[in-house]
């Protein structure tokens, strides 16, 4: 139920903001708006404000089907217009006015994203500190000399100045952008916050990433923040319980290998399976100040990538957290920067998908959006707001694509008209509309297929 409610609220808000952008600029430019609708299909609610601007008589509607909306303006191409109102019609406006009205929808979504990100920055959010866990064996992080426990003080792309890293989420976002953009990342790290720093370079440019999936960070080698190698809740009857492990046990070594953190321990447990059979190892643990040795044999689990070990207990303590909060101007600036970065990354990924350098699996549809809406809402208001900001950026960028059925396509028409001095002919308009609908249907089909595969495959 939470997923459905979170999804409907997200769609309703983002669509309403998008259409309000069109509506508000149209009214400001003196164009008569006949209807403002959020949703399609059967009308659920209909009203007209008593006080409206001169020349306006707008009907506001909420439809039963929330996947869209529209702003209907007075237009000679859609019906007869009284001579005395011709100056209020959309089609009689200068090119710059029509372009401003069309661009206002995506711009409203991008502005909303800036404000949502800024709101999170102003309110503050608890995030894990940028202390990295033990890197995956053979990964880029391990090859670069990282061992786990390093505190990332600053980071940046190769050739650019290093910037302070406030949390692990800042680091994760930088690594994601670097991997998808094939850009190397430099890290200034220290083993202690007050200690001397050293610089390492992660050559992410050699990854040739086509898809932003769970395997991306395994290849980079940085999966999560540092945690103590402590055993948490133990499931009855599982491998941990059979071996005698208890909640609160601190794991010091597995065999002859000292354990640095929870991530290293999890990786070792997964690797304790050879040719489908679990291997028994000696664990040295600390319990209530005493050192003990236990024989642990993990349970064998399988997935699409093969067999791996699992002990049936939570491994690793909660990471150290920090409160990330910004002042009014700094928070607004960070919101604008994050919106720009997400927009640029979205455009680049779309371009790479078109030329075949990125997988079409990156396209997501309504099922995935609904799933993420529910998950983010369950994590709290802050995470839900961040989710709304991300989807708002995606909606704004998508509508600016140069497809005839989208706002970006109409902006292309107006660019042609501004350059040539004549509008696109009706015949060409019809052909382009058909082509745009076909492309959009293909994209929607791929996105829906990815949704079903991702959620049920």
Spell out the residues 6+ positions from residue 43 whose beta carbon is closer than 8 angstroms to its own: 61, 62, 63, 64
What mean pLDDT is predicted for residues 46-67? 87
Q: How far apart are CA 37 and CA 61, in angstroms?
A: 5
Instruction: Pick the more confident residue, 426 or 72.
Output: 72
Band (193; pLDDT cuts 50, 70, 90): low
**Same domain? 334 vs 453:** yes
Tally of structural domains, the chain: 3
Q: Give the chain as a 3 state SS string.
A: CHHHHHHHHHHHHHHHHHHHHHHHHHHHCCCCEEEEEEEEEEEEEEECCCCCCCCCCCEEEEEEEEEEEEEEECCCCCCCCCHHHHHHCHHHCCHHHHHHHHHHHHHHHHHHHHHHHHHHHHHCEEEECCEECCCCCCCHHHHCCCCCCCEEEEEEECCCCCEECCCHHHHHHHHHHHHHHCCCEEEEEECCCCCCCEEEEECHHHCCCCCCCHHHHHHHCCCCECCCCEEEEECCCCHHHHHCCCCCCEEEEECCEECCCHHHHHHHHHHCEECCEECCEEEEEEECCEEEEEEECCEEEEECCEEEEECCEEECCCCCEEEECCCHHHHHHHHHHHHHHHHHHHHHHHHHHHCCCCCHHHCCCHHHHHHHHHHHHHCCHHHHHHHHHHHHHHHHHHHCCCCCCCHHHHHHHHHHHHHHCCCCCHHHHHHHHHHHHHHHHHHHHHHHHHHHHHHHC
pLDDT for residue 31? 94
The token pair at 413 is 């028409």
Does the pLDDT value for residue 194 go beyond 60? no
Q: Which of 316, 346, 373 is the last residue of a domain?
A: 316
Q: Distance (Å, rounded) from C-alpha 21 to C-alpha 107? A: 7
Supply 47's token pair. 């009203």
The answer to whether 240 and 296 are in contact (CB under 8 A) is yes
pLDDT of residue 156 exceeding 90:
yes
Is the per-residue pLDDT at 269 higher than 80?
Answer: yes
Distance CA 446, CA 78 (A): 33
Least confident of 19-33, 250-264, 307-321, 414-428: 414-428
Domain match, 311 and 336 both: no
User: Among residues of the chain, what percentage have pLDDT more than 90?
Assistant: 53
Q: 379-399, pLDDT tens digit by residue?
A: 888 999 999 999 999 999 999
- Residue 4 belongs to a domain: no
> Could you tell me the pLDDT band of residue 403, with boundaries at 50, 70 and 90?
confident
Contact 391, 111 (CB under 8 A): no
Same domain, 400 and 293: no
Same domain? For 301 and 216 the reply is: no
pLDDT bucket at 3, cuts 50 / 70 / 90: confident
pTM of the model: 0.85
Pair 456, 334 in one domain? yes
Per-residue confidence (pLDDT) for residue 365, from 0 to 100: 77
Q: Are 336 and 451 contained in the same domain?
A: yes
Tell me the CA distances in angstroms from 95 to 19, 129, 419, one per residue in order: 20, 51, 11
Tokens 């319990």 found at: 287
Which position has the higher pLDDT, 67 or 148? 148
What mean pLDDT do residues 430-441 have?
A: 84
Residue 40 lies in a domain: no
Range of the domain at 212: 140-220
Residue 192, pLDDT score = 61
What is the arithmetic mean of pLDDT over 308-325? 91
- Co-location of 356 and 404 in the same domain: yes
- Is 78 considered catalytic here? no
In a shared domain, residues 267 and 380: no
Active-site pick, 19, 127, 150, 267: 19
Last residue of a domain, one of 285, 316, 347: 316
Domain termination residue (choose one: 294, 316, 338):
316
Give residues with Cβ within 8 angstroms of 385, minimum separation 6.
116, 119, 120
Kindly state the average pLDDT of the residues 188-206. 83
Q: What is the pLDDT of residue 457?
A: 60
| Shared-domain flag, residues 281 and 308 | yes
User: Residue 413: how many CB atoms within 10 A of its CB?
Assistant: 20
Mean pLDDT value of segment 296-314: 88
pLDDT of the residue at 229: 93
> Residue 416 domain-assigned?
yes
CATH at 188: 2.30.42.10
pLDDT of 421 over the 90 cut: no
Residue pLDDT, tens place only, 215-260: 788 889 998 899 999 999 999 999 999 999 999 999 999 999 999 8
CA 406 to chain centre: 22
pLDDT per residue over 78-130, tens digit each?
Answer: 888 898 899 999 999 999 999 999 999 999 999 999 999 999 999 998 899 99
Same domain, 106 and 216: no
- CA pair distance 381, 389, nearest whole angstrom: 12
**pLDDT tier at 454, thresholds 50, 70, 90:** confident
> How much is the mean pLDDT over the chain?
89
Is-contact 408 402, C-beta < 8 A? yes
């Amino acid at each position: 139920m939470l997923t459905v409610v979170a999804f409907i609220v997200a769609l309703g808000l983002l669509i309403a903001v998008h259409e309000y952008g069109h509506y508000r600029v149209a009214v400001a430019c003196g164009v008569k708006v006949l209807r403002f609708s959020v949703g399609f299909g059967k009308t659920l609610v209909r009203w007209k404000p008593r006080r409206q601007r001169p020349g306006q008589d707008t009907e506001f509607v909420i439809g039963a089907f929330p996947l869209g909306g529209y702003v209907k303006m007075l237009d000679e191409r859609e019906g007869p217009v009284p001579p005395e109102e011709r100056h209020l019609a959309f089609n009689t406006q200068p090119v710059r006015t029509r372009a401003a009205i069309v661009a206002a929808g995506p711009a409203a979504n991008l502005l909303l994203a800036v404000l949502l990100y800024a709101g999170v920055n102003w309110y503050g959010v608890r995030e894990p500190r940028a202390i990295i866990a033990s890197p995956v064996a053979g990964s880029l992080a391990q090859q670069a000399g990282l061992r786990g426990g390093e505190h990332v003080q600053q980071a940046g792309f190769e050739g650019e100045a290093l910037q302070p890293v406030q949390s692990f989420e800042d680091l994760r976002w930088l690594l994601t952008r670097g991997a998808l953009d094939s850009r190397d990342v430099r890290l200034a790290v220290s083993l202690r916050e007050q200690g001397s720093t050293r610089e390492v370079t992660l050559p992410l440019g050699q990854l040739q990433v086509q898809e932003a999936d769970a395997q991306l960070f395994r290849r980079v080698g940085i999966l999560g923040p540092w945690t103590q190698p402590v055993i948490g809740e133990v499931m009855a009857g599982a491998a941990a319980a059979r071996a005698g492990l208890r909640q609160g046990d601190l794991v010091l070594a597995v065999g002859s290998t000292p354990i640095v953190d929870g991530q290293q321990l999890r990786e070792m447990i997964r690797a304790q399976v050879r040719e489908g059979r679990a291997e028994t190892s000696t664990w040295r643990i600390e319990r209530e100040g005493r050192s003990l040795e236990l024989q642990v044999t993990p349970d064998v689990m399988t997935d699409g990538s093969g067999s791996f070990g699992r002990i049936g207990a939570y491994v690793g303590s909660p990471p150290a957290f920090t409160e990330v909060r910004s002042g009014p101007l700094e928070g607004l600036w960070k919101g604008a920067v994050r919106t720009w970065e997400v927009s640029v990354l979205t455009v680049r990924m779309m371009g790479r998908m078109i030329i075949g350098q990125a997988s079409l699996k990156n396209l997501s549809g309504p099922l995935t959006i609904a799933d993420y809406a529910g998950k983010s809402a369950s994590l709290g208001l802050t995470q839900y707001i961040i989710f709304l900001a991300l989807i708002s950026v995606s909606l704004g960028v998508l509508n600016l694509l140069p497809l005839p059925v989208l706002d970006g396509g109409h902006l292309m028409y107006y660019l042609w008209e501004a350059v040539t001095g004549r509008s696109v002919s009706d015949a060409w308009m019809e052909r382009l509309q058909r082509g745009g609908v076909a492309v959009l249907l293909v994209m929607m089909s791929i996105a829906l297929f990815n949704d079903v595969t991702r959620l049920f495959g």
